[in-house]
Amino acid sequence: MLATMLATIARKLQGEYMEKKEDLIIGDDKDFEENLKKVFDILLNKRKSNFWEYTCLKNLNDLIEKIFSNYFDLIEGSCCSVDKAGYVTAKLLDSVKENKTFNLQHTYQDEYKHRIENGMDISWMEKFTEKDFQEKCFWCPVTIKNTEDAYNVLLSMINPKYVPKMLEEKKIIMEEYLKKYNNKGKGE
């Protein structure tokens, strides 16, 4: 059923974006993976922001979040994987809505500045030390730098052909981060 919904979305997008109908071939329910990729390709690569596109992507929010949650469980560990998945999914949607690429890696110093500028609560940060402010926010991914990278990870996660290679590359990034993190305070 979800594959059929994706095929319908892709057909509607085809009318708005594709010059020739042959550019987009929609299959049946067995082609879920391909349909999802086509929808994301159209929405994110064409980068023409409008409410309808955002709404289509928003309808896939739970699926996208689950895909990212599984990714973070596999690569960065289960701690905060749901927070990271929610954050990345929300920023990916914002990226489509605003037609911009967003950085996904922030420190608590960045968060503090953002909260001050927007009149938001900072009481939970009052006891932070300088070292705490330099740490990456717990909801920010280590292995995904921005929304373009997030999109590529998403497409890799839904395409079994690319999963092993992408996961191996991201595991290396995570291992390097952990080495660096574990060596803090040991003279590095």
Closest by CA to 166, choosing from 152, 146, 182, is: 152
Residue 45 reports pLDDT greater than 90:
no
Residue 112: predicted pLDDT: 93
- Residue 15, pLDDT score: 54
Does residue 162 carry a pLDDT above 80? Answer: no
Nearby residues of 34 by Cβ (< 8 Å), 6 or more positions away = 27
Tokens 């500045």 found at: 113
What is the per-residue pLDDT for 14? Answer: 55
In the chain, the percentage of residues whose pLDDT exceeds 90 is 34
- For the chain, give the percent of residues with pLDDT over 70: 65
Confidence of residue 59 (pLDDT cuts 50, 70, 90): confident
Q: Which residues contact 150 (CB under 8 A, 6 or more apart)?
A: 68, 88, 91, 92, 104, 141, 144
Lowest mean pLDDT among 74-78, 86-90, 140-144: 74-78
* pLDDT for residue 20: 44
**What integer pLDDT is reported at residue 186 of this predicted model?**
56
pLDDT band at 167 (very low <50, low <70, confident <90, very high): confident
pLDDT-derived band at 99 (thresholds 50, 70, 90) equals confident
User: What is the rounded average pLDDT for all residues in the chain?
Assistant: 77
Phi, psi of 159 (to 5 degrees): -120, 100
Is the per-residue pLDDT at 51 higher than 70? Answer: no
Residue with the bigger pLDDT between 168 and 126: it is: 126
Global confidence as pTM? 0.67
* Separation CA 4–CA 17 (nearest Å): 20
Residue 40 pLDDT greater than 80, yes or no: no
Q: Is 136 in contact with 142 (CB distance < 8 Å)?
A: yes
Each as own residue / partner, the long-range contacts of residues 51-59 (CB below 8 Å, 24 or more positions apart, any chain) are: 53/13, 53/96, 54/93, 54/96, 54/97, 56/9, 56/13, 57/92, 57/93, 57/96, 58/93, 59/5
Give the range among 16-20, 101-105, 142-146, 160-164 with minimum mean pLDDT.
16-20
Query: In whole angstroms, what is the distance from residue 186 CA to residue 125 CA?
Result: 26
| Cα–Cα distance for residue pair 32/159, rounded to 1 Å | 11
